[in-house]
Amino acid sequence: MKTIVRKEGLAELFSGYKATLSRDLPFSALQFAFYEKEQGWAKAWMGSKDIGLPLEVLTGASAGGMAGVITCPLDVVKTRIQTQIDPVLAPIKPTQASATRTTDRPRAVQTPASAAPNSRLGQSVRHISTGGPSTTLRQHGIVTLDTESVIAGLRAIYKAEGFAGWFRGVGPRLVWTSIQSGTMLVMYQTLLKWFDSHPLVGIDEDRLI
């Protein structure tokens, strides 16, 4: 946190906050809408309010999975806004580095035969770099978002990568939202049943008459 505040400012700690809300609010709304509908179907099929643990897990996991897939484009935008490199702080490109540091070239080091017994004679020369490790991102073929706007981010991704760009990582998102919702909603139903059987506050029915 100190490094971010020092190098990028306090506001950078909240980078992507609007994008997070834009993802999480629709996700939660869709998740509970799907869950309530599936719970109604399961209870009607079982003919009881107690549908059993397998159906509890299935309804919760499927509700979260469907909501996760639908909101995947919002998750893609949110993730890129929060993880992309700030253009102001981005390191110098290799082409620029070679132009400005012409003297910083790899050196040839003669490796003794005793130090590398398994190496062949023709491979005794090993090139090493005198510079530090590279901190630049590899070429990943995706557009970098220079905006905090979700709408502008969606447009930029669609323009550069097409419809498939909105759903990068949809498989892993389907898996983790299913597991998350299945676990959370089963616990939610378990607690509801427990508190229904063990109320925290006793009710005197004679006083209610």
Q: Whole-prediction pTM value? A: 0.67
Q: Which of 10, 30, 33, 118 is nearest to 75 (CA)?
A: 30
Whether pLDDT at 24 is above 60: yes
Instruction: Indicate the number of domains in the chain.
Output: 1
Cα end-to-end distance, the chain, whole Å = 59
Instruction: Look at residue 120 and tell me if it is in a domain.
Output: no
Instruction: Look at residue 207 and tell me if it is in a domain.
Output: no
Mean pLDDT of the chain: 78
Instruction: Look at residue 116 and tell me if it is in a domain.
Output: no
pLDDT in tens, 35-63: 999 999 999 999 988 899 999 999 999 99
Q: CB neighbours of 23 closer than 8 A, spacing ≥ 6? A: 71, 74, 75, 77, 78
Whether pLDDT at 206 is above 70: no
| Domain interval for residue 55 | 14-89+144-198
Instruction: Look at residue 123 and tell me if it is in a domain.
Output: no
Instruction: Look at residue 103 and tell me if it is in a domain.
Output: no
Q: Which of 14, 154, 182 is nearest to 76 (CA)?
A: 154
How many residues are recorded in the chain? Answer: 209
